[in-house]
Structure 1
Amino acid sequence: MAQAVELPDIQFAAEEAAEIQQNIISVYEGLTGRTLQPADPVRLFLSSLAAIIVQQRVLINQTAKSNLLRYASGIQLDHMGLFQGAERLSASAAITTMQFTLSIPLSFPIAVPQGTRIGVQGGDGSIFFVTEEYLEIPAGGTAGAVSAVCSSPGTTGNGFLPGQLNVLMDQLPFIQSVANLTATTGGAEKESDEAFRERIRTAPDSYSTAGPQGAYEYWAKSTSAAILDVHAFSPGNGKVTIVPLLAGGQIPGQNVLDAVAETLEDRGIRPLTDQVTVTAPTSVPYNTNITYYISRSRVSEVPAIQAAVTSAVAAYQLWQKSKLGRDINPSELIARVMTAGALRVVNAAPVYTALTATQVAQEGMTTINYGGLADD
């Protein structure tokens, strides 16, 4: 896989205002043989020109730097992706599995048309899911399951627990009830610049059809903008295991795993001899239990620091679960709480835990104790 290289910041044109202003004045004084005093109207006029030149230098830098992957954004990044054959992923809708249940077994099959709508219990009808395929409950059967997708792309369809989608919006004969069997996952907004930039960087890995690790990870990420991280490895000859992780550290459901498997089934991506398995990462739970103290000299800032500490703990938990194989690191938690304004932090949990590349940390119980004011 292509490796990111850390390079120093680049500047194509100097932007220092004082240096540009002094250069203009020096050129004028050299050409005219006249020394400009600080209040000289000519000096003030030249200073105003220097401000315009500084603005132009900034634009020159921004334009030139946008030709580099590290600095490109928006439409420039989209055009840059085309050079590598990569396109920004559009917003994806959440998916789930719906089960339709009959009131009694019948002697003839019952059809559930593609596009049948199912709403949320207690909802206003603005968010609903539609079946992706035609479903037929055979004669003598009482239930059938089919995948369904949210009508609204983005994250709005995520997070509905099994059974919460149970309002049949299109009346069907003999259908007694409907409910989602799995939690709704996979919804994501349009791919961000940061995520798209990373995919462009790794796009050359996708050119190989021999099944390298980077190619499998690239194509798996290309399934949906909801996929945050992927790890591919070979547990044996001719076998490949793909482990995806969703944005926000969510564990992917079976619907997402099936979508990734379908993407990798393409004969232009998967070598014929590879047996590909897509599986969810292993969740490693941990608890958070800290006690923090605030300097007595910052007594007027206590409410603001307390809010900042709570936000810092939440940010740490998001950071902890946003990458596969990221070790559970209490030092990161302490550092973030200290940066938020705490004088001292006593950490009871978590403890440092090394994770493998197929594991992801997931927060459990969170306890944040304010220990009071303390002397520096």
Structure 2
Amino acid sequence: MLNETLKPLAELPDVSFIDNDTIDAMMQRLVSNYERRYQEITGKEVTLGAADPMRIALYAVALDLYQTEQYVDRAGKQDLLKYSYGEFLDGLAANRSVSRKEATAARTTVRFTASETKDYALAIPAGIRVTNGDGIYFTTVEYAEIAPGDEYVDVEAVCTAEGTEGNNFLPGQVDILVDPLPYIQSVANVTTSEGGAARESDESLAERVYLAPSGYSTAGPTDAYVYWAKTFNAGIGSVVPVSPEPGKVDVYVLMADGSMPGEELLQELQDYLTEERIRPMTDLVTVKKPEAVEFSIDLTYYINRSDQAKAVTIQENVKKAVAEYTTWQTSEIGRDINPDELVQRIKAAGAKRVELTAPTFAVVGETQVAKCTASAADNGGLEDD
């Protein structure tokens, strides 16, 4: 589903740099022009039949000419944000000093615990690797040491692989020391790993280009905080800035996959948004996670007997529709819980009808987000049409 921010772009009238020309129209023009010009030069009428070699040759020429028109149309559209993609979009974004965010690696804090306290410091060099034992590695980003008399030290570590695969390791899951260190008894992450993001998508980049003019202002417009939050980390999805009272701004953020941001990312984002080049002098900025409004999915769907031959496919499509609805419902702050959307998607997947027990419609506040706690979609079987 199209990003809400970009809907005004999608609603703009379509533009054609070739006046909506078609291959059939071009073929007819070439034949008509040939017949007219032939008569002007020779004084004789000619009609090119469907199998006339000249008509076939003109059709072949039309194919190449129309392909050239397609290149012209595409070239023109790449200067418009509604159509631009890939490297063309990168070039268009540069006009507004916006660049695509490259993939980033997840981060976490790892605790190194000594086997016993020492009267001297135990060094933890930068680059020490720890792992979860399943092929995901984190390395310490700077030198640290366990001070004399202390039992442990917490060190920031970054995943060796960029992207989302290093995200969401709960405290204690990254607990294997790869590079041996003397007198270190155990290691374990003490925060949930987060912050890893894939290379920014075209849709995300287009959204930031669209919002970029708001970032030029130091007056603190709503879109400016949205722009800067999404610029900070490509993994951030929904952003809702609110002002509970004059001079104060609360920025609520949700990750693009619908998950809640961790405390470390919230603090890093808050530090970023309070930089002088971003934050108006009069604003006290606080970054928060939205409040979760829980709901569940409980339904039974039925399939037309006339669709018996494709019942298995419909079941798979319904399963996919429920998953896509869950993502849609939980990935935007302030989106009301809407059971009609779920029913519509299931019927579009091929079901005849739906008996829905849950969810029921519920208003989700401006700084809240829906969270699915359980999901059950049962196949009630075939019914007469």
| TM-score, normalising length: structure 2 | 0.92
> Is the 8 Å Cα contact of residues 130 and 149 (structure 1) preserved in structure 2?
yes
1:156-235 matched pairs, under 5 angstroms = 156-235=165-244
Are 2:22 and 1:16 aligned?
yes
Count the aligned residue pairs: 373
1:38 alignment partner, one of 32, 50, 54: 50
Q: Please state how far the C-alpha of 1:3 moved relative to its aligned partner.
A: 8.3
Cα separation, 1, equivalents of 2:6 and 2:326: 28
Q: Please state how far the C-alpha of 1:101 moved relative to its aligned partner.
A: 1.9
Once the two structures are superposed, residues 153-191 of structure 1 have per-residue CA deviations (whole angstroms, 9 ceiling, x without a partner) of 101112222211001122223221111122222211100
1:255 alignment partner, one of 264, 268, 279: 264
Once the two structures are superposed, residues 304-354 of structure 1 have per-residue CA deviations (whole angstroms, 9 ceiling, x without a partner) of 111111111111111112211111111111111101100001111111111
> Is the 8 Å Cα contact of residues 186 and 246 (structure 1) preserved in structure 2?
no
Once the two structures are superposed, residues 233-283 of structure 1 have per-residue CA deviations (whole angstroms, 9 ceiling, x without a partner) of 222222221112112111111121122123213211112332211111222
Cα separation, 2, equivalents of 1:72 and 1:225: 19
Are 2:73 and 1:61 aligned?
yes
RMSD of aligned C-alpha atoms?
Answer: 1.8
Cα separation, 2, equivalents of 1:269 and 1:132: 27
Are 2:377 and 1:373 aligned?
no
User: Relative to 1, partners in 2 of residues 1:113 and 1:210: Cα closer, same or farther, differing over 3 Å?
Assistant: farther
Counterpart for residue 330 of structure 1? 339
Cα separation, 2, equivalents of 1:137 and 1:116: 14
Cα separation, 2, equivalents of 1:237 and 1:111: 48
Once the two structures are superposed, residues 25-45 of structure 1 have per-residue CA deviations (whole angstroms, 9 ceiling, x without a partner) of 111111112222222211111
> Is the 8 Å Cα contact of residues 94 and 157 (structure 1) preserved in structure 2?
yes
1:68-217 matched pairs, under 5 angstroms = 68-120=80-132, 122-123=133-134, 126-217=135-226
> Is the 8 Å Cα contact of residues 154 and 188 (structure 1) preserved in structure 2?
yes
User: Relative to 1, partners in 2 of residues 1:275 and 1:133: Cα closer, same or farther, differing over 3 Å?
Assistant: farther
Cα separation, 1, equivalents of 2:75 and 2:348: 35
> Tell me, what secondary structure is at the counterpart of 2:17?
coil
> Is the 8 Å Cα contact of residues 97 and 255 (structure 1) preserved in structure 2?
no
Counterpart for residue 279 of structure 1? 288
1:291-302 matched pairs, under 5 angstroms = 291-302=300-311
Are 2:369 and 1:353 aligned?
no
| Structure 1 unpaired stretches of 5+ | none
> Is the 8 Å Cα contact of residues 223 and 259 (structure 1) preserved in structure 2?
no
Cα separation, 1, equivalents of 2:146 and 2:240: 38
Once the two structures are superposed, residues 60-113 of structure 1 have per-residue CA deviations (whole angstroms, 9 ceiling, x without a partner) of 111111110111111111111111111100001111222222233333333323
What amino acid maps onto 1:81 in structure 2? A
Cα separation, 2, equivalents of 1:225 and 1:164: 25
Q: Please state how far the C-alpha of 1:142 moved relative to its aligned partner.
A: 1.9
> Tell me, what secondary structure is at the counterpart of 2:153?
strand
What amino acid maps onto 2:123 in structure 1? A
What amino acid maps onto 1:4 in structure 2? P
Cα separation, 1, equivalents of 2:256 and 2:103: 13
Cα separation, 2, equivalents of 1:135 and 1:280: 31
2:34 alignment partner, one of 6, 28, 36: 28
> Tell me, what secondary structure is at the counterpart of 1:353?
coil
> Is the 8 Å Cα contact of residues 6 and 207 (structure 2) preserved in structure 1?
no
> Tell me, what secondary structure is at the counterpart of 1:345?
strand
Cα separation, 2, equivalents of 1:75 and 1:4: 23
Q: Please state how far the C-alpha of 1:302 moved relative to its aligned partner.
A: 0.8
Are 2:276 and 1:267 aligned?
yes
| Structure 2 unpaired stretches of 5+ | 40-45
Counterpart for residue 247 of structure 2? 238
> Tell me, what secondary structure is at the counterpart of 1:278?
strand
What amino acid maps onto 1:15 in structure 2? D
| TM-score, normalising length: structure 1 | 0.94
Q: Please state how far the C-alpha of 1:17 moved relative to its aligned partner.
A: 1.6
What amino acid maps onto 1:25 in structure 2? V
Cα separation, 2, equivalents of 1:370 and 1:200: 44
Identity %, equivalent residues: 43
Q: Please state how far the C-alpha of 1:371 moved relative to its aligned partner.
A: 0.6
Are 2:4 and 1:4 aligned?
no
> Is the 8 Å Cα contact of residues 2 and 202 (structure 1) preserved in structure 2?
no
Bigger drift between 301-310 and 178-187 goes to 178-187
User: Relative to 1, partners in 2 of residues 1:219 and 1:80: Cα closer, same or farther, differing over 3 Å?
Assistant: same
Q: Please state how far the C-alpha of 1:2 moved relative to its aligned partner.
A: 9.8
Cα separation, 1, equivalents of 2:179 and 2:301: 55
Q: Please state how far the C-alpha of 1:205 moved relative to its aligned partner.
A: 0.4
What amino acid maps onto 1:331 in structure 2? D
